[in-house]
Structure 1
Amino acid sequence: MILHHPRPLTVLLTLGAALFLSACTDDGDSAAGTVTETMTVTPGATMPTTTATTTGTPDPGTPTLATTTTQVTPPTTPDRPGSCEPDFFLDEFTSPVVMFCDGAWARAGQAQTDHVLVFHYRDGRWLSHPHDGRDVFTQYPCYDEENLRATGAPEELISQVSLCEPEDEQG
């Protein structure tokens, strides 16, 4: 016999086995028993995992209450990347220009100005990444190379920012 729908058959067989087991555990107590079936479905798995438990001792003449719980576990995925469209930087700039963006890190600024910031995409939004100091001559923000690497900034971004020198002001 060829079975084309193994999942419904598995559920029926499991439920039937649980009911059979609940009927077989009669020790003379007339309290109605409960059969609980839990099915966990994991995406990508070929067959769901099913467990059935019986509590109480059912009376052979009493209908048994069956409860089925299905739990679907979503696959684990990394945070979705942030959009690199300039409109996503309107919280910080009125006319944003994006100079670098990989979905996790960005460098953006106000059009036709020197106001440029580094952003890190966290918790579903672009957050300004704090600078580590200011260049002593230009007073532009600078970044500590080791700190950027430690927080996961990509090489392409690191090569675009002003890196702090030992004589640069901190803060």
Structure 2
Amino acid sequence: MLGLLALGLVAALVVFFVGSKSQDEQNSAASDPAGTATVTVTQQPSTTKVTRTEIETEVDQASVDPCSQDVMKAQNWNFERFAVNDCQNGWLIGGTPQTDAIGLYQWNGEKWQRYEADGETFTGFECYDFKSLRAQGAPEVMLQQVTECTTRSFPVHLTPEQPSCDGRNVLIVESVIVHPGEDADKEIAQALGRHSGAKFTNPGQCSSLRAEAEGGKVYPVYYDFGRDASAMCQRKAAIGGNGRTLNNSADFSDPCE
């Protein structure tokens, strides 16, 4: 009987000490700063937040459409009015309508910048190195709207005349209108071929000659009669055309009418 009581007492003591040890370990873990989970919990959300912000920033930058109206309005074009002819893939053609201020622009990631022309044709148009433009990713549709620089020399008969604006009489038999991207040499040569012995001069050589029309430059093809207005009018009666005096008074009147 005493043996049974002794065994029961030993079992009770074992249970007591084991329970006490478990409770002490739990209390120790709760009070031990090195074992706390709070640092891990607060640090992880902070890292996740920064990563999300970076992703959102990248998305915002990628979503900017250079061709959007908001971007266009934010540009300092240095023009009273600016019209966009074409805009795509980081390239733009635009400027002031009906003027020479039509150019090629490239998006640099923040704003539109004027793409400097590589040269100028003898007829006064800006021209570009198509090989260089293609290497930079310019769309082919853009190349169709600008003039390519060439290295060919121009025949003597295509050299524009430089007549004096002294009131001399000329009979304009054709006005060649050349738009950006068109082959001015070819158009002018064909017009001269249709009018044997005729000459041509630059757009607006005198104020009595139109410089532009229909969005293109005007190259007058004409016969020069000097001071002989009568001979000019006789030729006009035979072949047609427009009589004009070359002056800087913006006088477009026809002496034959």
Structure 1: tracts of 5 or more residues without a match: 1-58
Aligned pairs for 1:61-72 within 5 A: 61-63=31-33, 64=36, 65-66=38-39, 67-68=42-43, 69=46, 70=48, 71-72=51-52
Instruction: Using the TM superposition, give the Cα deviation of residue 84 of structure 1 relative to its aligned residue in structure 2, in angstroms.
Output: 5.2
Relative to the length of structure 2, the TM-score reads 0.37
Aligned pairs for 1:16-165 within 5 A: 60=29, 61-63=31-33, 64=36, 65-66=38-39, 67-68=42-43, 69=46, 70=48, 71-72=51-52, 73-74=54-55, 78=62, 80-83=64-67, 85=69, 87=73, 90-102=76-88, 104-135=90-121, 137-165=122-150
SS of the equivalent of 1:74 reads helix
Structure 2: tracts of 5 or more residues without a match: 1-27, 154-257
Deviation string 1:117-152 (CA, Å, 9 cap, x unpaired) is 1011122211111111111x2222111000110111
Relative to the length of structure 1, the TM-score reads 0.54
SS of the equivalent of 2:131 reads helix
Q: Is the 8 A contact 1:89 1:96 kept in 2?
A: no
Deviation string 1:31-86 (CA, Å, 9 cap, x unpaired) is xxxxxxxxxxxxxxxxxxxxxxxxxxxx7322424132223251755463313546
CA distance in structure 2 between the aligned counterparts of 1:93 and 1:162, rounded to whole angstroms: 23
The share of aligned pairs that are identical, in percent, is 28
How many corresponding residue pairs? Answer: 109
Structure-2 change in CA distance of 1:110 and 1:89 (3 Å): farther
Deviation string 1:69-121 (CA, Å, 9 cap, x unpaired) is 22325175546331354645552321112111125111012122122110111
Structure-2 change in CA distance of 1:139 and 1:84 (3 Å): farther
CA distance in structure 2 between the aligned counterparts of 1:79 and 1:148, rounded to whole angstroms: 25
Q: Which has the larger radius of gyration?
A: 2
Bigger share in helix: 2
- For residue 18 of structure 2, what is the aligned residue in structure 1? none
Structure-2 change in CA distance of 1:140 and 1:159 (3 Å): same
Calculate the aligned-residue CA RMSD, in Å. Answer: 2.6
